Homo-oligomer: A and B are copies of this chain.
Amino acid sequence: MIDPALALAALVFDRDGLVPAIAQQHETGEVLMLAWMNRAAIEETLRTGNVFYYSRARRTLWRKGEKSGQTQRLVEFLVDCDGDTILLRVDQHGVACHTGHRACFFRSLRADGLEEIAPVLVPPEELYRN
């Protein structure tokens, strides 16, 4: 296990104690999502190898996939030049988005508006059936 203090020392947290974290599928380069981490999320992620985030809406620590089963395993933890963004290279089990799309960035801006460019792979009612 990597000592979380090594990451925490390099990071600049915002006024809410959070840092944005980009999750990228490690071998394909696909950008899956952006979420937020606090100190506890970073500690739990490094301790367990499962990615945790901080939910701003629910104001709670959140293990990715805890309800949907769509977990993320940490592959590599990167920090940007000024320490205010994290890039998580992960192995996403199933779909990253609560909509059932593989990634959250499934809407592309076109001349007539946002167009869905990726399919729903798992219906949301299957993701959150319990």
Contact = CB atoms under 8 A, between A and B. Distances in A.
Interface of A: 2-3, 6-7, 10, 20, 22, 24, 28-31, 33-34, 46, 76-82, 85, 87, 97-99, 101, 104-114
Copies in the complex: 2
Contacts of A77: 108-109
29 contacts: A2-B109, A2-B111, A6-B109, A6-B113, A6-B114, A7-B109, A7-B114, A10-B107, A10-B114, A20-B20, A20-B34, A22-B34, A24-B29, A28-B29, A29-B29, A29-B30, A29-B31, A46-B109, A78-B105, A78-B106, A78-B109, A79-B105, A79-B109, A81-B101, A81-B104, A81-B106, A81-B107, A85-B104, A87-B105
